[in-house]
Structure 1
Amino acid sequence: MGGDAVGGDAVGAGAGLAHVLREHELVVGARVVVRHRLADGSAGDALGELVAAGEAELVVATRRGEVRVRRADVLAAKAVPPPPRRRGPAHEAVGVDELEALMAEHWRPDERVDLGGWRLRAAGGFTGRANSALAIGSPGVPLGEAVAAVEDFYDRRGLPPRVAVPHAAGASPDSPAVAGELAARGWVVDTPTLVLTAALRALPAAADAPLPAGCSVASAAEPDETWLAHYRYRGTTPVPPAGRRVLVSADEQVFVRVLERGATVAVARGSLSPGWVGVAAVEVAPSHRRRGLARRLLAEVAAFGRERGATSAYLQVAEANPGARALYDGAGFGVHHAYHYRVRPGS
């Protein structure tokens, strides 16, 4: 990630930064802007990747080199969205690797080991997203060595070796180099998925998604037993302890329920990172489908994001789920890219 060290009264990435110090967002690897006091008494912004966050100083890798900021000189600091790769709205201009890295922060695993740009993740087997090697950027070693490292990581944890492979929508699943390497080794394709994005302002508001008579909405910062009982990862319950940790692993999240006369009939999860809100875990009871409940869940998550300053939204949907795709298309989402998993045969 690049960035700039800017002197004087900086604008742009630092606009609106005055008096904002979000300590919980100062995580190594995050893209941040740090406003700090300069030697002449003025203020400047360091924009880039946070490479160190000690008690005495912060180190930000900007496009002009590393900037070291004493903690005593920090005036404000926060995480910021990834930079655009092309012109256009943020939800369209963000690059594939940047969006994949951002989405990974909404669904953090118990364990993460980096191999170059790749992220090896494990969370007791709960979901592919938290138990796969995310192949973005370069692994820093030849592909054969990278695959061996992935196999060793998951074998030692008793999990099936799995690699998440992002690629352009509509492209051959074998087109990325890593996919070709894994295909040659017999690794099989699993769960082809589309990543959809939207401008948050374009998504429906609650007024655009009225509930049927007798229904109401409830939201909470953590999932209670009722919410968990209605979330079925790949059709199974209950959610294991590792799953509960993953569900509350984002910077902030909301767990929404639709109730009919006190009984929960639909659920969804919203998650937050700088500039973005994610939509996940949308479940509607079979007896209550085609009544607009999923659209209302989407509206509630969108409102959660807007209230916290997000401007873009994303979600992931299986290519083989035409009903969900039609819902999200109608709500204003468009395809950004695709990904699939490669799983070692016999695992």
Structure 2
Amino acid sequence: MADVTPTHPVRDLPVGARVVVRHRLPDGSATDALGDLVAADATTLRIATRRGEVSVARADVLAAKPVPPPPARRGAPHTAIGTEDLQRVMAEHWRPLERLDLGGWRLRAAGGFTGRANSALALGDPGRPLPEAIAAVEAFYAARGLPPLVAVAHPAGGLGEGTEPADALAARGWTVRTPTLVLTAATDDLPGRAEAPLPAGLRVETAAVPDEAWLAQYHYQGAPTVPEAGRRILVSADEQVFVRVVEGATTVAVARGSLSPGWAGVTAVETAPTHRRRGLGRRVLAEVADWARARGAGATYLQVQGDNAPARALYEGAGFAVHHAYHYRVAPGGPGRR
């Protein structure tokens, strides 16, 4: 599976990530290879650079790290990044338990917990004719007892009409599920703790892993508990923080922050019904923003269902703006999951 790579002396480098690798040359000097890591084994890294593919022996590596995708246009990082590159960034914040690459597509599975971890992320060329790619998706999910699901990213304001694979899937009767907006912001522009005070009697606690109290307040699509697969996904990013607002011994609001090179992500924002409209959502966002700023993440993203007006008002009021949209296409007869 492509999401598992051998251990690197400096850090693990996931295949598919954009990386910079500093390495020795035969004459004893050093140079950098910047590009996408296309393969890695126990002895060699292969990086697709602008000048072609470079093979680097692990023994020659001096330093290596993932780096953010290049901008697709002029502007601040949170607006200049292209849609497909931002989709790749977000995928590293919510990694599945299993991944199989099909050309540029990523087939992801995690026992059915969330569409993000159980869908084919359709990016670029699948490396084969589209009907064959769709058949491969169907076979992959059928073998795992999951509904075939394809995540399709596109500009906001539509459903990707006139583009592949949206049109090809629609022609085969695949229906739309969960239209979602991707919002971004410059992390430095987001409110911090000082701008999001708590009501009297409440306090904030943070941790690197979710405890049982945090998990008990996170109800993904109304589910009463988080399954084992979900617990593993929640700690799948390079780094994450789990924020909770507490009253007495009761957790009344939660959020998760996550990190990848240059980017922070916000997920799992939830406030208990008894404590809504008291500024707790704004406060957990501020906690994640302060955490992200301290780690040098210049841009932050989050995802929100297009019809969730209260959540959109919260996020846009904090400084987020729409970058693009995506939705799922589900095979005839299959349910959709966000």
Please state which band the TM-score falls in when normalised by the shorter chain.
Answer: over 0.9
C-alpha spacing 1:60/1:173, structure 2 compared with 1 (3 Å):
closer
The answer on 1:280 being equivalent to 2:280 is: no
Unmatched 5+ residue regions in structure 1? 1-20
Contact map agreement 1:174 1:183 (CA 8 A) in 2: no
Map residues 1-347 of structure 1 onto 2, 5 A cutoff: 23-347=10-334
What is the DSSP-based 3-state SS (H/G/I as helix, E as strand, rest coil) of the residue aligned with 2:286?
Answer: helix
How many Å apart are 1:291 and its aligned residue? 0.8
C-alpha spacing 1:176/1:38, structure 2 compared with 1 (3 Å):
same
How many Å apart are 1:314 and its aligned residue? 0.3
How many Å apart are 1:41 and its aligned residue? 4.1
How many Å apart are 1:58 and its aligned residue? 2.8
Deviations 1:114-135 (A, max 9, x none): 1111111110000011111111
Distance 1:201 1:113 in 2: 36
C-alpha spacing 1:328/1:166, structure 2 compared with 1 (3 Å):
same
How many Å apart are 1:39 and its aligned residue? 4.1
Unmatched 5+ residue regions in structure 2? 1-7
Deviations 1:99-145 (A, max 9, x none): 10111111111111111111111100000111111111011122211
Distance 2:162 2:105 in 1: 18
Amino acid at match of 1:283: E
C-alpha spacing 1:181/1:58, structure 2 compared with 1 (3 Å):
closer
- In structure 2, the residue matched to 1:13 is none
Contact map agreement 1:58 1:69 (CA 8 A) in 2: yes
How many Å apart are 1:147 and its aligned residue? 1.3
Distance 2:327 2:184 in 1: 17
Identity of aligned residues (%): 69
What is the DSSP-based 3-state SS (H/G/I as helix, E as strand, rest coil) of the residue aligned with 2:197?
Answer: coil
Deviations 1:46-84 (A, max 9, x none): 111123333434332211122333334322211000111
Distance 1:212 1:77 in 2: 45
Distance 1:116 1:46 in 2: 22
Contact map agreement 1:22 1:78 (CA 8 A) in 2: no
Aligned residues: 327
Distance 1:135 1:50 in 2: 19
Distance 1:323 1:208 in 2: 20
What is the DSSP-based 3-state SS (H/G/I as helix, E as strand, rest coil) of the residue aligned with 1:129?
Answer: helix
How many Å apart are 1:298 and its aligned residue? 0.5
Amino acid at match of 2:315: Y
How many Å apart are 1:166 and its aligned residue? 0.4
Contact map agreement 2:108 2:117 (CA 8 A) in 1: yes
Deviates more, 1:314-323 or 1:181-190: 181-190
Contact map agreement 2:10 2:63 (CA 8 A) in 1: no
What is the DSSP-based 3-state SS (H/G/I as helix, E as strand, rest coil) of the residue aligned with 2:266?
Answer: strand
Deviations 1:77-102 (A, max 9, x none): 11000111101111111111111011
Distance 1:37 1:129 in 2: 39
What is the DSSP-based 3-state SS (H/G/I as helix, E as strand, rest coil) of the residue aligned with 1:24?
Answer: coil
Distance 2:58 2:147 in 1: 43
Contact map agreement 2:206 2:242 (CA 8 A) in 1: yes
Q: CA RMSD, aligned part only? A: 1.5
TM-score (normalizing by structure 1): 0.91
Distance 1:173 1:71 in 2: 42
How many Å apart are 1:299 and its aligned residue? 0.8
Amino acid at match of 1:325: R
Contact map agreement 1:25 1:79 (CA 8 A) in 2: no
Distance 2:154 2:207 in 1: 35
Contact map agreement 1:295 1:327 (CA 8 A) in 2: yes
Contact map agreement 1:218 1:258 (CA 8 A) in 2: yes
